[in-house]
Amino acid sequence: MGSFRNRRSQSSTRTFAGFVRAGLLGIVLAAGVVGVGSISLAAIPEPEPVARRWELDFKPGPFRVASVEVEGQGAKSFLYMTYRVANNSKEDVLFAPVFDLATAEGALVRSGAEIPAEVTKAITAKLDNPLLKDQVSVLGTLQQGEANAREGLVIWSLPKADLDKVNIYVAGLSGETQTVEVIDPKTKEVKRVSLRKTKMLTYRMPGDVLKQGNDPFEKIEDRWIMR
């Protein structure tokens, strides 16, 4: 029991730092750089304290696991989350969000990647919400006002059954960007990389994810970062 508590304590100190490698991985890939070690944490800026660009109001719904029968593969497990997004800025905005899920080990899973159509159909039917849009139908111009708010569904393949924490990064909710310089470890040349203001959600997982059933995972952090 004591070793479990120690592991939980150590894991808690890594709420952001333990996952920053996954966040930086997106930066590195965008820059064409192959080594996370080439970027200093001190170089990662914080978002502006007061938004100066358009920003959408995003409210995540429950984050859960589901088992779905997939033709030719049997029962497979997936992670999914619903959300509501509204545009209360002063301009219509093209809504094209990107949802990445990162594990403590550095695995990065893009929502919708290799998700069979029957999985989306089964989870949508389970939620029984006629306003719910899948990851494709939710795309498009989001007009101003609460009356034009949208409800969406995102699904990820389960990277592994044993998880202690995951981060979800949601890009496409803000027009704020910042530029940082990184060093390409191959050429040693400085590259300029554009970062976007991104919503980061952190969830505590139970270890054996499949034992969670239909209960939502506990959200322990919700904040903006530059990624």
Q: Is the model's pLDDT at 22 over the cut of 50? A: no
Per-residue burial over 50-62, b if 16 or more Cβ lie within 10 Å, else e, is: eeeebbbebebbe
* Residue 214 to residue 44: CA distance in whole angstroms: 37
Residue-wise pLDDT for 28-78, tens only, equals 443 333 333 344 444 678 999 999 999 999 999 999 999 999 999 999 999
pLDDT band at 98 (very low <50, low <70, confident <90, very high): very high
- Please give the pLDDT value at position 181: 87
- Please give the pLDDT value at position 8: 42
- Name the more confident of 7 and 157: 157
Q: Is the pTM of this model over 0.95?
A: no
The DSSP-derived string for 78-89 is EEEEEEEEEE-S
- Please give the pLDDT value at position 185: 80
Show the domains of the chain with their CATH numbers.
Answer: 47-178+194-226 (2.60.40)
Least confident of 2-11, 114-123, 149-158, 178-187: 2-11
E strands, 88-134, are 93-95, 98-103, 108-110, 132-133
Residue-wise pLDDT for 107-136, tens only, equals 999 999 989 999 999 999 999 999 999 999
